[in-house]
Copies of this chain bind each other. A is one copy, B any other.
Amino acid sequence: MTGRPRDPAVDDAIRRAALELVGEHGYRGVSMEAIAARSGVSKQAIYRRHASKGEVMLDAQAAFARTRLPTPDTGDLREDLLALLEETFSGQRGVNGALNRALAAEALQDDAFSELLNERLIRQRRDAVRLILARARERGEVAHPSDDLLIDLVFGPMWYALLLDPGKLTAEYAATLTDAVLAVARSHGRPESRTNSPTSGNTAG
Contacts and interface: CB of A to CB of B under 8 A. Distances in A.
Interface of A: 26-28, 76, 78, 101-102, 104-110, 114, 117-118, 122, 140-141, 144, 146, 149, 152-153, 155-165, 176-177, 179-180, 182-184, 186-187, 189-192, 194, 201, 204-205
A179 B191 contact: yes
Contact of A159 (B28, B159, B189): B159
Classify the secondary structure of A's interface with B. helix
B184 A180 contact: yes
Q: Which of A26, A146, A159 has the most CB of B within 10 A?
A: A159
Given A156-B158, A159-B163, A191-B78, A109 B28 contact: yes
A95 to B, nearest CB: 14
B163 A104 contact: yes
A108 B162 contact: yes
Contact of A164 (B110, B114, B161, B187): B114
A108 B162 CA distance: 7
Contacts of A28: 109-110
Nearest to A79: B194
Contacts of A182: 191
Contact of A27 (B27, B109, B146): B109
Given A101-B108, A146-B176, 10 more contacts: A26-B109, A78-B191, A78-B194, A104-B104, A107-B163, A108-B108, A149-B177, A155-B160, A156-B157, A156-B161
Given A189-B176, A194-B78, A105 B109 contact: yes
